[in-house]
Amino acid sequence: MDGQRWLPLEANPDVMNQFIRQLGLVPSWQFGDVYGLDPDLLSMVPRPVCAVLLLFPVTEKYESFRLEEEAKIKAQGQEVSSDVYFMKQTIGNACGTIGLIHAVANNQAHLEFEPNSPLKEFILQSCKMNPQEKAAFLEKDESIRVTHESSAQEGQTEAPNVDEKVDLHFISFVNVGGKLYELDGRKPFPIVHGTTTEESFLADAAEVCKKFMARDPQELRFTVVALSKA
C-alpha cells in the first residue's frame, strides 16, 4: 500500500453515521456502540443488526495467526457465496471506509438510499468486479475520498498525520445467505465463520470478536460497532 494514504477514520458511530448519510444512505439503519460482548450488554443493542464492525490492534500475535489462517484455508478450501461483496484494501488507512462499504454493500436488501446516492452508485458499478478491481475503482472515486477526509476530521480525537503509522484496523462481519463472513481488505478472501441467522447474527459475530480479543489478552484497544435498525 505505497500509493494513496487517507486519514484514518475514528471508530465513532456519530462519525460513521454522518459519513454514510453524506453518501446517500437513508438513516433508517444506524451505527451504534456495542459496550460489551456478554449477553446482558448485547441485549442493549437495538435489533435487528445487519453488520458488525470491529476495530482491533494489528499485533505480532495477530499477524502470525492471520498467516496461519490464510495457509490453512488455501490448503483446505472454503465455500464463499458469489453474493458476497468483497474488496481488497490498496489505500493506506482506508480500512474504516472499506469496512463501511462492506457493511452496506452486503445489506442492500435491508437499507434504503437517497436518489443519486454516491455510495449506491459505487456499489452498483463495482459489484461485478473482482476484489482487486473494486480496490482500484475506490482509488478513483472522488466523492467517497472527499467524504472520508471530511469525516476523518470529525472525530473526538485529533486526526493523526496522514503519514503516521496506524496499527489499528477495521473489519466487517455480515450475514450473507445464512453464513457469517469476516470481510477484511488486507486478506485475500472473505473468511467463513459458520452458519448464522438474522436473530443470532449479533451473538455469533460477538463470539468471533471474542476470539480476536483472546489472542491478545493484554490489549485493550478493541471497539465493536453494530449497524442496527433505528
* pLDDT tens column, 157-191: 554 454 555 589 999 999 999 999 999 999 999 99
Within-domain flag for 8: no
Q: Which domain holds residue 107?
A: 13-229
Would you call 57 helix, strand, or coil by DSSP? strand
6-32 mean pLDDT: 93
Within-domain flag for 3: no
Percentage of the chain exceeding pLDDT 90: 83
The catalytic site residues sit at 95, 169
Within-domain flag for 5: no
Residue with cell 444506524: 30
* pLDDT tens column, 25-77: 999 999 999 999 999 999 999 999 999 999 999 999 999 999 999 999 999 99
Within-domain flag for 2: no
Residue type, 195: T
Within-domain flag for 6: no
What sections of 94-227 are H helices per DSSP? 95-105, 118-126, 131-139, 142-152, 201-215
Instruction: Give the integer Cα–Cα distance in Å for 60 and 65.
Output: 9
Do 15 and 159 contact (CB within 8 A), yes or no?
no
Instruction: Give the integer Cα–Cα distance in Å for 124 and 122.
Output: 6
Q: Parallel, antiparallel, or unpaired: how do β-strands 191-195 and 223-229 relate?
A: unpaired
* pLDDT tens column, 141-151: 988 998 888 88
* pLDDT tens column, 184-230: 999 999 999 999 999 999 999 999 999 999 999 999 999 999 999 98
Number of domains in the chain: 1
Tell me the whole-structure pTM to 2 decimals.
Answer: 0.93
Q: Mean pLDDT, the chain, as a whole number? A: 92
CB atoms within 10 A of CB 41: 13
Within-domain flag for 126: yes
Domain containing residue 178: CATH number: 3.40.532.10
Within-domain flag for 184: yes
Instruction: Give the integer Cα–Cα distance in Å for 99 and 10.
Output: 12
pLDDT at site 175: 98
Q: How confident is the model at residue 1 (pLDDT cuts 50, 70, 90)?
A: very low
Within-domain flag for 124: yes
